[in-house]
Amino acid sequence: VKGEFPLQVINPHYLRRSHSILDNIPWLREAWPNPVYLSAKDAKDRGVQTGDTVQISSRHGKTLRLAMVTERLIPGVVGLPHGAWVEVDEKTGIDKAGADNYLTGCIPSGQGISGWNSTVCQVEKYSGTPLEPDANWPLRIV
């Protein structure tokens, strides 16, 4: 994949949640942070290190996450765990919670469902206020 969005997003299901259920449990937030996983090569190419706040952008939206650099992903693939609750910054329109669905559009595939594994993105170091680990965020009651 080349162009404005050269990276493919995958959405692993994560031990912290079951889809979007349980995302408000304090001890799960502490035990399982919600980073974005980047290959070591992609991180190096972008000047990103583990713990940096990064912006993940697609043609549909933008979200922020703390980076986790790993050798376990091939270059060109970004791992954004599925199920985070959206937390939109009203000033910027950027989701601060790492909601993978914020990056996917509503354009269906040929079978009439969303193409979750067809989302492409760009990742760059964020120049705004760094994110606090979401285990430190106030809990929301829904």
How high is the pLDDT of residue 17? 82
How high is the pLDDT of residue 6? 97
The amino acid sitting at 36 is V
Cα 87 versus chain centre, distance: 12
Instruction: Kindly report the length of the chain.
Output: 142
- Quote the radius of gyration of the chain (alpha carbons, Å): 14
| β-strand pairing of 62-70 with 7-10 | unpaired
Strand, coil or helix: what is 118?
Answer: helix
Q: Identify the structural domains of the chain with CATH numbers, from first to last.
A: 7-131 (2.40.40.20)
Give the range with max mean pLDDT: 19-28, 57-66, 82-91: 57-66
- pTM score of the predicted model: 0.90
